[in-house]
Amino acid sequence: MKFLDSVALAKLRNFRLELRRMAAEGRASGRHRSAWRGPSHEFAQHRAYVPGDELKSLDWKVFARQDRFFVREYQAETMLTTQILLDASGSMGYGSKWEYSCRLALALSYLVLSRGDAVGLSCFDVQPRESIPPRAQLGHLEVLDAALAARCPGEETDLPSVLERAAAQAKRRCLMILVSDLLGDPERVLQVARAVRARKHELMVLQVLDARERDFPFEGPVIFESLESQPRVFCDASAVAAAYREEISRLLRLYEAGLRAGGIAYGLFTTDQPWEGGLARLLASWQ
């Protein structure tokens, strides 16, 4: 695979994407526990028999001891569908952000699949592009990898609309993982993120930036060219550096505070740092 080699897969075996915080509403068996009672191999409790219960669920050993009917209940194990939303707008093509984000998307997909749950993938710019339906087979990872390898960053993006549409189209409660640089209107993004949570979906946000977007190391006369439109901007980088750093710091604080206040897992990733470390911290904070 292009985005996950054997070394990365070996590292991921020590990671866990814990899903027990959700009472999933799937139809097939996965490996994480739900709050629902249902068919499984793990005993949960006894309860008194009531008319209408299936006779095969009666515990005859308990009846022999107490001369009363009791039903055995088991911990339900249900499949949680995870949908990964990967920003493929032009700004994601800056530096190594796209490849870094693809690695994160594949790593999270592996963690979901390794638990026996289903994961799907949607790439988007102004609207959804590739959309890979959720599957629970581990071989699905190669399908996702091939789709990402064939894709490259494209046009502008309308992140809030894409996120809102994904939540509306979800047929049941699910986990949505957004991987994006979040270089848009933060107030609108936060508003839609809160709306996603209001629909009872879980949401995890991974913000990926190039270190130069965070630190602005440029000096002197510089021409900045947009990756999503034609205009170029010529300026003295030294004159705007302080204001830029203040603004990007404000933006990052706004996202972190706004998302976490809404019960949404948030992690900031920069391409000068190994993705494994950032992912480990994010998963630890979400347990």
Residue 12 near residue 115 (C-beta atoms within 8 A): no
Instruction: Give the number of C-alpha atoms closer than 13 A to the C-alpha of residue 67, restricted to the C-beta side.
Output: 0
* pLDDT of the residue at 74: 58
Residue 12 pLDDT level (bands cut at 50, 70, 90): very high
Residue with tokens 């993006």: 157
* pLDDT of the residue at 39: 47
What amino acid occupies position 130? E
In three-state secondary structure terms, 175 is: strand
What amino acid occupies position 52? G
CA separation for the pair 86, 181 (Å, rounded): 10
Q: Of residues 286 and 179, which shows the higher confidence score? A: 179
Residue with tokens 């879980």: 202
Least confident of 38-42, 68-72, 136-140, 157-161: 38-42
CA separation for the pair 253, 121 (Å, rounded): 28
Helix-, strand-, coil-residue percentages of the chain, each rounded to 5: 40, 25, 35
Residue 146 pLDDT level (bands cut at 50, 70, 90): very high
* pLDDT of the residue at 102: 97
- Mind listing the pLDDT tens digit for each residue in 174-198? 999 999 999 888 999 999 999 999 8
Q: Residue 212 region, left (φ>0) first, then alpha (ψ -120 to 50), else beta?
A: alpha
* pLDDT of the residue at 69: 83
Of 133-137, 203-207, 231-235, highest mean pLDDT = 203-207
Residues 6+ apart with CB under 8 A from 282: 204, 206, 265, 266, 267
- Mind listing the pLDDT tens digit for each residue in 84-127? 999 999 999 999 999 999 999 999 999 999 988 899 999 988 77
Pairing of strands 175-180, 70-77: unpaired
Q: Of residues 275 and 54, which shows the higher confidence score? A: 275
**Domain annotation for the chain: domains and CATH numbers:** 6-24+80-286 (3.40.50.410), 33-77 (no CATH)
Nearest 5 degrees, angle CA 17-CA 179-CA 18? 10
Longest alpha-carbon distance in the chain: 90
What whole-number percentage of the chain has pLDDT above 70? 86
CA separation for the pair 88, 180 (Å, rounded): 8
Residues 6+ apart with CB under 8 A from 10: none
Q: Of residues 227 and 39, which shows the higher confidence score? A: 227
* pLDDT of the residue at 157: 78
pTM of the predicted model as reported, rounded to 2 decimal places: 0.81
**Average pLDDT score over the chain:** 85
Of 39-53, 75-89, 194-208, highest mean pLDDT = 194-208
Q: Find the mean pLDDT for residues 74-83.
A: 66
In three-state secondary structure terms, 48 is: strand
Residue 163 near residue 196 (C-beta atoms within 8 A): yes
- Look at residue 22 and tell me whether its pLDDT is greater than 60: no
Residue 103 near residue 208 (C-beta atoms within 8 A): no
